[in-house]
């Protein structure tokens, strides 16, 4: 009986993970840099969806600064996406920690 219950729980968890993966394709996070002058939007899975650049940053001789800000904003958004994924996984698994080195399937 316990084996059947464990199998059902495993199937339920698998379905929840699939549902969460689908949701993470739709959930967007925003990262910013330069005091909000440059912003990027991306899915929680890391797909870049958009970039917003304040017009005051667009100067031909400051392209390197703009490039660096873009990288920083993307990193900020990625960290937020990863934190969102970790939070959702924690709530789904009841705080159960994955073994070291074990990656999620997304």
pLDDT digits (tens, 9 = 90+) for 53-102: 888 888 888 888 888 888 888 888 888 888 888 888 787 767 666 555 55
Q: If DSSP codes are grouped into helix, strand and coil, which group holds residue 94?
A: coil
CATH level 3 topology of 28-92: Ybab; Chain: A; (3.30.1310)
Q: Answer for the pair 4, 12: CB distance below 8 angstroms, yes or no.
A: no
Angle formed at CA 36 by CA 34 and CA 42, multiple of 5 degrees? 105
Is pTM beyond 0.85 here? no
Strand partners, 39: 32, 52
**What is the pLDDT averaged over residues 8-28?**
85
- Write down the pLDDT at residue 106: 45
Separation CA 20–CA 96 (nearest Å)? 17
**Chain segment 42-61, per-residue pLDDT in tens:** 888 888 888 888 888 888 88
Going by C-alpha positions, the residue among 88, 96, 31, 97 that lies closest to residue 106 is 88
């Amino acid at each position: 009986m316990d084996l059947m219950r464990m199998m059902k729980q495993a199937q339920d968890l698998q379905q929840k993970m699939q549902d969460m993966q689908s949701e993470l394709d739709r959930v967007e996070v925003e990262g910013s840099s330069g005091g909000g002058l440059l912003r990027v939007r991306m899915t929680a899975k890391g797909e870049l969806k958009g970039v917003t650049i304040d017009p005051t940053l667009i100067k031909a001789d400051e392209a390197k600064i703009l490039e660096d800000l873009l990288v920083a904003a993307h990193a900020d958004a990625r960290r937020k996406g990863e934190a969102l994924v970790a939070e959702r996984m924690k709530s789904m698994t009841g705080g159960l920690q994955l073994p070291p080195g074990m990656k999620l399937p997304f």
